[in-house]
Amino acid sequence: MDRKDLLGLEDLSTDEITSILDTAEAFRGVLDRPIKKVPTLRGKTVANLFFEPSTRTRISFELAEKRLSADSIAFNASTSSVVKGETLKDTVQNIEAMGVDFVVMRHGASGAPYYIAGNVRASVVNAGDGSHEHPTQGLLDMFTMRRKTGRLEGLTVAIIGDIAHSRVARSNIWGLTKMGATVRVCGPSTLTPREVEKMGVTWTWKVEEALEGADVVNILRIQKERQTANLLPSLREYALYFGVTPERLRRASQDVVIMHPGPMNRGVEISQDVAEDGRNVILDQVTNGVAVRMAVLYLLNGNEPASREAEMATVEG
């Protein structure tokens, strides 16, 4: 892949997305082997900089790095505990001094990885910045959809929840619309950003409408804090009027793929029944996330795209 960083899906080409997804397919095969490790990034160092708490994404990246035989170091700091401006600058200088090859970065401020990427030689992978993008999540969602349905082009995907504050929504929207899917976003108007239609999607607050004939439903987490900012009167009302329930899901395609980036608030954005529905692929998303992150690091390292598992040598000894 002819780029230094992966900061968002907005500026990826369809060819780049396809080659990442194809390469992830090869790595997905590696994850089914008894020894789930390849030597591709031996001798390379990855710094995982998490300025915002994260469990799933951090562990998924760490696992991907280990399975590529990279050395990884972790830096966890909440932005609240440090002087914000200085930290970023200091971080940049430290990264340069340590000579790391990759930076995986999660930050609470939208755009923060752009600042780092513009100032370090290392490849920067955005692991989620504010409400902006979460490109590897977008990729793993697409990877999971493609595996399950065999295509992305022509799929109808409903994204339901807090669109305004969701980096997952933005990465999904950019990626899916590029790949030819039809995207409907849905949520209360107070949680919908202005002019979201200009991103190439339709919007409705009516969950039933959004689900009508949908091939995929991607359900986003509702944060409790949204109540205090008067964006929602209560989680109870949200669950009643916007929650994805079996009744509402009847509007969707019969073999609808049910997705959620986790962690789920059962009984809020997703009912207990839907969380247990056989059509949901929420745990597949977790497994696929490792393969997709391996593919991203592998391609940013300058390796040629791969599509067959057999192309991946198992680590020796």
Partner 1 sequence: MERWETMRMTTWDSGRRPLVLCGLRVLDPETGKETRPEVLIKDGTVRFTAAGDHPDGALIFELPGRVLVPGLIDIHVHLREPGDEDAETIASGTAAAARGGFVAVASMANTRPPIDDPQSVRFVLERARQAGMSRVYPMAGVSRGLEGTKLTEMFDLAEAGAVAFSDDGHSIMDANLMRRALEYAGMLDKMIVTHAEDLNLKGDGVAHEGFMATKLGLRPVPRATEEVIVARDIRLVQDTGGRLHVAHVSCGSSVEILRQAQAQGLRVTGEATPHHLLLDDTMLGTYNPNFKMAPPLRERMDCEALLEGIRSGVIQAVATDHAPHTEIAKDAAFDDAPNGVVGVETAFAALHTGLVLTGKLELSRLVHAMSLGPARILDLPHGPVTDGGPADLTVLDLEATWEVGEDDFVGKSSNCPWLGATLTGLPVLTVSGGRVLYHHPSVGAGNAAPVGTR
Q: Check if 251 is active-site.
A: no
Instruction: State the minimum distance, in angstroms, from the CB of residue 214 to partner 1.
Output: 23
Q: Annotated catalytic residue: which of 23, 57, 91, 144?
A: 57
> Which residues, numbered 182-201, are part of the site for partner 1 (CB under 8 A)?
193-196, 198-199
Q: What is the DSSP letter of 137?
A: H
Strands (E), 153-253: 156-160, 182-186, 202-204, 216-219
Q: Check if 106 is active-site.
A: yes
Task: End-to-end CA distance of the chain: give it in Å, rounded.
Answer: 30
Closest CA relative to residue 25, chosen from 315, 306, 316: 306
Is 177 an interacting residue with respect to partner 1 (CB under 8 A)?
no
Q: Check if 3 is active-site.
A: no
Q: How far apart are CA 296 and CA 310, in angstroms?
A: 18
Q: How far apart are CA 292 and CA 171, in angstroms?
A: 14
CB atoms within 10 A of CB 97: 8
Q: Which of 45, 54, 71, 108 binds partner 1 (CB under 8 A)?
A: 108
Is 54 an interacting residue with respect to partner 1 (CB under 8 A)?
no
Tokens of 117: 């990427």
Q: Write down the H helix ranges in 150-266.
A: 167-178, 207-211, 235-242, 246-249
Q: Annotated catalytic residue: which of 134, 248, 260, 293?
A: 134
Q: Which is nearer to partner 1, 108 or 262 (CB)?
A: 108
Q: How far apart are CA 256 and CA 215, in angstroms?
A: 5
CB–CB of 165/220 below 8 Å? Answer: no
> Which residues, numbered 124-153, are part of the site for partner 1 (CB under 8 A)?
129-133
Q: How far apart are CA 165 and CA 182, in angstroms?
A: 21
Q: Which of 61, 115, 143, 298 binds partner 1 (CB under 8 A)?
A: 115
Q: How far apart are CA 109 and CA 103, in angstroms?
A: 17
Q: Annotated catalytic residue: which of 28, 44, 67, 106?
A: 106
Q: What is the spatial order of strands in the sheet that 102-107 belongs to? A: 71-76, 45-50, 102-107, 123-129
Q: Which of 112, 127, 214, 216 binds partner 1 (CB under 8 A)?
A: 112
> Which residues, numbered 205-234, are part of the site for partner 1 (CB under 8 A)?
229
Q: Which is nearer to partner 1, 167 or 178 (CB)?
A: 167
Is 5 an interacting residue with respect to partner 1 (CB under 8 A)?
no
Q: Which is nearer to partner 1, 63 or 199 (CB)?
A: 199
Q: Which is nearer to partner 1, 86 or 255 (CB)?
A: 86
Is 283 an interacting residue with respect to partner 1 (CB under 8 A)?
no
**# residues contacting partner 1 (CB under 8 A):** 29
**Beta bridge pairs of residue 72:** 46
Binding pattern to partner 1, positions 69-88, x when CB under 8 A?
Answer: ----------x----xxx-x
Q: Annotated catalytic residue: which of 4, 33, 42, 84?
A: 84
Closest CA relative to residue 273, chosen from 244, 241, 238, 252: 244
Q: Check if 57 is active-site.
A: yes
Q: Check if 266 is active-site.
A: no
Place of tokens 């401020």: 109
Question: Which residues form the interface with partner 1 (CB under 8 A)?
Answer: 10, 79, 84-86, 88-89, 107-112, 114-115, 129-133, 167, 170, 193-196, 198-199, 229
Residues with a catalytic annotation lie at 56-57, 84, 106, 134
